[in-house]
């Protein structure tokens, strides 16, 4: 068995006297694609922050890519992790050209400064932009793109550095139906490629789970209500327990729909 990319053991986070994460145990292997699902305030973003080495647990042990958080230098771990989130997007200058937004990821900075880019990096950035259907936008300024295009640029930027794990915080939030479906198709294609890194995606909606995702972690009140292969764990019963109201789940062709029962 290959080594885990993420290994959480009894991870808890306490902030201002509130227990935000409660004894979370979670293991992610390189070929797995996880969805983290749960209601507002469940602790999903906090869990992702730890997975991104952006926050340390109050107690418990988080091991990222074989490095124990708190014992290893986060500056060694962070470049190996790709993170796309709206918080990250806010740090991208609105007047930055899309090609540079992606290119700067190779140098772990936001905003072009004095770096001299190698042809090999420029070629890779163009390839990644094409992969995320962004070739037509490479000379556009980031701030002029639609929400859907900006989300794809964020992901392309995270993929550019060739991460060993790709973390996506609500990539489909605020997208219209067409943009959402376009993004889910791209994410599904990426997830199905065996060469892609491990993936973890936070979402509020089962409708936003791309086809090809393999596992789900359900979180409520900071605690895991269920975790494991999607086929076993994503059930009406587990969603009912997680969201605290009767929910009926239906699935078709690898996609899911949920509504109050």
Ligand X SMILES: Nc1ncnc2c1ncn2[C@@H]1O[C@H](COP(=O)(O)OP(=O)(O)OP(=O)(O)O)[C@@H](O)[C@H]1O
Name the residues that contact ligand X, by CB under 6 A.
15-16, 18, 20, 38, 40-46, 204
Looking at the Cβ atoms of 20 and 83, the one nearer to ligand X is 20
Looking at the Cβ atoms of 19 and 112, the one nearer to ligand X is 19
Q: Taking the complex as a whole, how short is the minimal distance between the CB of residue 166 and ligand X, in angstroms?
A: 18
What are the distances in angstroms from CA 261 to CA 28, 97, 203?
A: 32, 47, 21
Distance (Å, rounded) from C-alpha 160 to C-alpha 106? 6
Distance (Å, rounded) from C-alpha 97 to C-alpha 170? 24
Looking at the Cβ atoms of 46 and 238, the one nearer to ligand X is 46
Distance (Å, rounded) from C-alpha 241 to C-alpha 143? 40
Instruction: Look up residue 111 and give its two tokens.
Output: 């905003």
Query: Dihedral angle at the C-alpha atoms of 50, 13, 206, 249, nearest 10 degrees?
Result: 140
Q: Taking the complex as a whole, how short is the minimal distance between the CB of residue 10 and ligand X, in angstroms?
A: 18
Looking at the Cβ atoms of 85 and 104, the one nearer to ligand X is 85
Looking at the Cβ atoms of 35 and 125, the one nearer to ligand X is 35
Q: Taking the complex as a whole, how short is the minimal distance between the CB of residue 44 and ligand X, in angstroms?
A: 4
Estimate the share of the chain in helix, then strand, then coil, as percent rounded to the nearest 5. 35, 30, 35
Decide if 28 contacts 198 (C-beta within 8 A): yes
Q: Taking the complex as a whole, how short is the minimal distance between the CB of residue 45 and ligand X, in angstroms?
A: 3
Instruction: Look up residue 38 and give its two tokens.
Output: 């749960």
Looking at the Cβ atoms of 40 and 114, the one nearer to ligand X is 40
Q: Taking the complex as a whole, how short is the minimal distance between the CB of residue 215 and ligand X, in angstroms?
A: 18
Least Cα distance to 100 among 134, 71, 50 occurs for 134
Helices within the chain (DSSP H only): 44-51, 74-77, 86-89, 98-103, 119-131, 147-160, 177-192, 230-233, 236-243
Q: Taking the complex as a whole, how short is the minimal distance between the CB of residue 49 and ligand X, in angstroms?
A: 7
């Amino acid at each position: 068995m290959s080594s885990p990319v993420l290994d959480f053991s009894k991870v808890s986070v306490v902030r201002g006297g509130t227990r935000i994460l409660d004894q979370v145990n979670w293991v992610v292997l390189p070929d797995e694609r996880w969805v983290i699902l749960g209601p507002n305030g469940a602790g999903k973003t906090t869990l992702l922050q730890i997975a991104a080495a952006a926050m340390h647990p109050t107690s418990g042990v988080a091991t990222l890519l074989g490095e124990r958080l708190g014992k290893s230098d986060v500056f060694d771990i962070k470049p190996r992790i790709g993170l796309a989130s709206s918080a990250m997007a806010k740090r991208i200058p609105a007047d930055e050209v899309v090609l540079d937004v992606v290119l700067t990821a190779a140098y772990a900075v936001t905003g072009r400064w004095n770096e001299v880019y190698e042809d090999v990096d420029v070629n890779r950035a163009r390839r990644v932009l094409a992969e995320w259907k962004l070739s037509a936008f490479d000379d556009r300024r980031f701030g002029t793109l639609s929400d859907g295009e900006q989300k794809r640029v964020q992901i392309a930027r995270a993929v550019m550095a060739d991460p060993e794990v790709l973390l996506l915080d609500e990539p489909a939030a605020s997208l219209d139906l067409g943009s959402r479906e376009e993004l889910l198709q791209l994410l599904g294609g990426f997830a199905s490629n065996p060469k892609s890194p491990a993936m973890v995606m936070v979402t509020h909606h089962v409708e936003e789970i791309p086809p090809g995702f393999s596992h789900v972690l359900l979180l409520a009140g900071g605690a895991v209500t269920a975790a494991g292969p999607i086929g076993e764990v994503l059930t009406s019963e587990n969603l009912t327990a997680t969201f605290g109201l009767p929910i009926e789940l239906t699935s078709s062709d690898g996609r899911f729909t949920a509504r109050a029962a």
